[in-house]
Structure 1
Amino acid sequence: MSVIDDAAGFTTTRATAHEGGTSKIFDIPIDLGRPADLLERITSWAGERRGARRVMYVNAHVLNQSQENPELHDALVNADLVYCDGYGVRLAAKAMEAEVPHRMTGADWVWGLSSLCETAELSIYLLGSDPGVAAEAAERLHRWYPRLRIAGTHHGYFELGSEHDQRVVEDINARRPDIVLVGMGSPKQEQWVQRHADELDTDVLWTVGALFDYVSGRVPRAPAWLADNGLEWIFRLAIEPNRMWRRYLLGNPVFVSRVMAQARGHRHAAHG
């Protein structure tokens, strides 16, 4: 294994094909493995009962928040696996002359995950979104994968540290799922995983953002030609302007400025 490091807070780690390697952006290690390999690695952790592994994603919005929220940043840095779920992350890696991670978006990988879990008889628990949405997502997954074991579902509208929060933990432990998909939005989902990882009887805690909204059909997906060219944000802004305008119209320029500042620091250090 070889490591290229610099003083700008950016590191690229080249490893064997089996290990995958990582690229660091804002000090957060992002796995370079292919989506199919990542899914196999994650599902291989199920059934080990050695404590919950933490799987998380980053996109421009999450990376922006990680610079303002120390608890979120720590959660990402200490996760067992962080993958790229946004075209902006790939552009950032290119700007920093780093190895570019593969993009693995939940609305795509959830079907592969369901197939792998059905075959291996692994159970999943869906936690998050508005009341009823996780249950609708579970029903749709069952239609495509009738032998998929869904241990339970619960919405994500409760306060961290509340009695309701503790009841959710108790429900998960009573059902003992192999994998818990946590879709509460960032940074709540990452904070929830960090706070409860040690007390949950599961093998994988996986933050998934708005995944259940897509799987249930409540929110449409962007056309492939937009998503494949880094323009999915335009579609999301168009269909959910009240919720998304701040993230994209304010957040995207901030992300670009942060990436450019770090890229300049990288170049200065490289020629320093």
Structure 2
Amino acid sequence: MALDRQRIPVLEVDATPLRVPDLMAELSRFVEEGSTRTVLGHNLHSVTLTLSDEGFRDLYQRSDVVLLDGAPVLWLWGRTGKAQGPVMDYRLGTTDWLPALGEVQGLERIAVIGAGPEANAAAVRQLELIVPAARVAGLPGEGWNGDLEDRAVEWLHAQQPQLVLLGLGMPLQEEVLQRRLADMPPAIYCAVGGAIEQLAGFQKLAPRWLGRMGLEWAWRLLLHPRRVAYRVLGEPWVLLWLLGSRRVKRTLPGPGK
């Protein structure tokens, strides 16, 4: 059964709007099927990459689930009037749904790839508390390179997980999925960005009231100005240029007209 893929107005990308219980039900179905699935999320950074990078766009188009992550993406989708209940219930950043993984039926093996050794180990311990019936294994992703990527693929085959949390940051984690998904064992592969460090308590989450106002970007800019300054202050202008260019191309007459 294919999930309903919906167009996000203005941004010209598609997503699969779900609430936490809906996502847990889909993950339970994926676990029961035992096939390879991917779960991604859309924020303004991923939208910019989708519109500018063919490989990134193809990965998102083929993904089984594309969650509404960033507040602007959520608000624009909310204009469609398709939300059943509060629109904010459909905003699923990774830390919104990770605490609910204990509701996934049949989940017995989880793999966590990413972050440094200490954060990875702490995230594994947290997941063991969240899903006590599951065996959770971790592989740090610090200093990611070709050799570590090869070892990660071998490690996944040895672990045979049902759910993989891949937290290497965007776009590295998506590039790994583009390169190696066909080499990896069947599992649900979730691109989770910095959620491993957040789950481990190594990275502070924005207060919930800031999230409801769509101001998490200000929190990240305050805590990590060098890391996120371009994404917060510069990339939106790139996105506007990309969207404008696409609209101009559509209005220009084709060859021979």
- Answer yes or no: is the 8 Å Cα contact 2:168–2:194 preserved in 1: yes
CA distance in 1, matches of 2:196, 2:245: 35
The equivalent residue for 2:207 is 223
**Relative to structure 1, is the Cα distance of residues 241 and 28 closer, same or farther in structure 2, using a 3 angstrom cutoff?**
same
The equivalent residue for 2:222 is 238
CA distance in 1, matches of 2:243, 2:225: 25
How many residues get paired?
Answer: 244
1:142 aligns with 2:119: no
Report matched runs for 1:4-15 at 5 Å: none
Q: Quick one: which amino acid aligns to residue 132 of structure 1?
A: E
- Answer yes or no: is the 8 Å Cα contact 1:181–1:207 preserved in 2: yes
1:22 aligns with 2:6: yes
1:183 aligns with 2:167: yes
Aligned-residue offset at 1:263: 8.8
- Answer yes or no: is the 8 Å Cα contact 1:58–1:89 preserved in 2: yes
CA distance in 2, matches of 1:264, 1:224: 39
**Relative to structure 1, is the Cα distance of residues 146 and 38 closer, same or farther in structure 2, using a 3 angstrom cutoff?**
closer
Report matched runs for 1:120-139 at 5 Å: 120-139=106-125
Structure 1, unpaired ranges of 5+: 1-15, 267-272
Aligned-residue offset at 1:236: 0.9
Q: Quick one: which amino acid aligns to residue 165 of structure 1?
A: E
- Answer yes or no: is the 8 Å Cα contact 1:140–1:216 preserved in 2: yes
1:23 partner SS: strand
Report matched runs for 1:158-169 at 5 Å: 158-159=143-144, 162-169=146-153
The equivalent residue for 1:7 is none
Q: Quick one: which amino acid aligns to residue 174 of structure 2?
A: E
Q: Which has the higher helix share?
A: 2
1:116 aligns with 2:103: yes
Aligned-residue offset at 1:238: 0.5
Report matched runs for 1:202-217 at 5 Å: 202-217=186-201
TM-score normalised to structure 1 length: 0.79
**Relative to structure 1, is the Cα distance of residues 159 and 141 closer, same or farther in structure 2, using a 3 angstrom cutoff?**
closer
The equivalent residue for 1:44 is 29
Report matched runs for 1:149-160 at 5 Å: 149-150=135-136, 152-159=137-144
**Relative to structure 1, is the Cα distance of residues 121 and 168 closer, same or farther in structure 2, using a 3 angstrom cutoff?**
same
- Deviations along 1:192-230, one digit per CA (max 9) or x if unpaired, are 112222222232111111110110001111111110111
CA distance in 2, matches of 1:210, 1:83: 16
**Relative to structure 1, is the Cα distance of residues 42 and 259 closer, same or farther in structure 2, using a 3 angstrom cutoff?**
farther
TM-score normalised to structure 2 length: 0.83
Q: Quick one: which amino acid aligns to residue 110 of structure 1?
A: L
1:67 aligns with 2:43: no
**Relative to structure 1, is the Cα distance of residues 264 and 92 closer, same or farther in structure 2, using a 3 angstrom cutoff?**
farther
CA distance in 2, matches of 1:93, 1:32: 9
- Deviations along 1:90-145, one digit per CA (max 9) or x if unpaired, are 233357x57567211111200111x124x534211001123332221111222444
2:164 partner SS: strand
1:205 partner SS: strand
Aligned-residue offset at 1:158: 4.8
CA distance in 1, matches of 2:81, 2:56: 23
1:86 aligns with 2:70: yes
1:177 partner SS: coil
The equivalent residue for 2:254 is none
Residues 66-75 or 201-210, more deviating: 66-75
2:161 partner SS: coil
Q: Quick one: which amino acid aligns to residue 139 of structure 2?
A: H
Residues 206-215 or 61-70, more deviating: 61-70
Aligned-residue offset at 1:170: 0.6
**Relative to structure 1, is the Cα distance of residues 38 and 264 closer, same or farther in structure 2, using a 3 angstrom cutoff?**
farther
- Answer yes or no: is the 8 Å Cα contact 2:100–2:130 preserved in 1: no
